[in-house]
Copies of this chain bind each other. A is one copy, B any other.
Amino acid sequence: MEKIFSVPLKGGAVTDVYTYSLDEIERELSSYPSLLAVFDDNSSFSYGRPLPEASLVLPHGEEHKNWGSVDAILSKAMDSGLARDSVFIGVGGGVILDMAAFASSVYMRGARCVLVPTTLLSAVDATLGGKTGIDYGGAKNAVGTFFPAEKVLICTDFLRTLPDSEYRSGLGEVLKHALLSADTKLSVFLAEERARILSRDPETVAEMIRLSLEVKISYITRDPEEKLGIRSALNLGHTFGHALESLHDYGISHGEGVAWGVVRALQAGVAIGITEREFAECGIDLFRSYGFADSFSVPEELFGRYFRTIGKDKKKKGGEVRFVLMEGQGRPVLMTLDEDTVRSAVIREA
């Protein structure tokens, strides 16, 4: 057990991030007098030991990220007699963590929340910064709250049994962080350690998570509620990517969508003269070396639907959707893009 970050958040809240072994997690779970542990059917399996008495196992998958699941959590919490000082513990990927945290944020107007990410994506993406939520009306995470977990327990043991596609999904977010970082430390690490990263060498993976979280933390602590336009930069690739995920009815993974979206943002940025060409090319090469750059394109006949989905994006301001583009290393900007620029970026030329 090691505390690797203590992240100061709005209103004096702090999220402490620890690395834990599975045994330490089990001990932690048994230390709370009143708790509800929320798993999905994947994480309950990879946890590999008896679940705490007050537990709920939800079906996995983005299609269950809805009020019905949150309702099940709240209802179980109510039946188990949880109070406002009880602890909701989410153990799983981003879907479970977002929903467990959302449920904890609205139960009695806010109970306690501890998150145990079991996927690479959730370790680097869903656990820090307090974004909670569910999908709603066809839009991802359209309903939710800002509610930071008091603790995040990262356990790389969980990552060993992840399916390749799930691990790749996490790598998509890590690669995104490499571009957003003020320096090239993470980019260089990703380029040099690619073999060890892909073979999931535990120490290499732990270091990659740490470097990736460091970038995320630098953005969220400067803008905890996404009001200053700084934190919004973490949505690099998300506007392009979410709409692709929606087009595929969430049949492609989040990180896969984001990675694809980052490459689109780099290409769009070059096309309108915002992004340094060399930075974009290096970035796209890095994404390509991990197999991300050219994985999808939007068919011409679906572009209308794709573009309308973008119009539903949460990050609208004054009715306009703003994309995150990159000027260069660690220099994001928020911009609107016209339909033709979006079209050129998402439809691959023959």
CB distance from A108 to the nearest CB of B (A): 5
CA A144 – CA B102 in complex, angstroms? 11
Asked if A48 lies at the interface with its beta carbon under 8 angstroms from chain B, I say no
Q: Are B67 and A71 in contact (CB under 8 A)?
A: yes
CB of B75 within 8 A of CB of A137, answer yes
Using A67-B71, A319-B34, A319-B83 as known contacts, say yes or no to A314 and B144 having CB atoms under 8 A apart: no
Q: Tell whether A105 is near chain B: CB-to-CB under 8 Å.
A: yes
A142: nearest chain-B partner, CB-CB? B108
Count of chain copies: 2
Q: A307 in the interface, Cβ–Cβ < 8 Å?
A: no
Task: Give the Cβ gap from A79 to chain B, nearest Cβ, in Å.
Answer: 8
B110:A146 contact, CB within 8 angstroms: yes
Q: Is the CB of A144 within 8 A of B83?
A: no
Query: What is the distance, in angstroms, from A65's C-beta to the closest C-beta of chain B?
Result: 14
Query: Does A190 belong to the interface (CB within 8 Å)?
Result: no
Q: Which chain B residue lies CB-closest to A320?
A: B83
Is the CB of A57 closer than 8 A to any CB of chain B? no
Can you list, as one digit per residue, whether each of A51-64 has a CB less than 8 Å from chain B (1) or not (0)? 00000000000000
How far does the Cβ of A303 sit from chain B's closest Cβ, in whole Å?
Answer: 20
Give the top 9 A-B pairs by smallest Cβ distance, nearest first: A83-B316, A78-B137, A108-B314, A11-B11, A109-B144, A106-B143, A10-B11, A109-B146, A85-B317
Complex A-B: 11 CB contacts under 8 Å = A10-B11, A33-B318, A33-B319, A34-B319, A67-B71, A74-B137, A81-B319, A83-B318, A107-B142, A109-B146, A110-B146
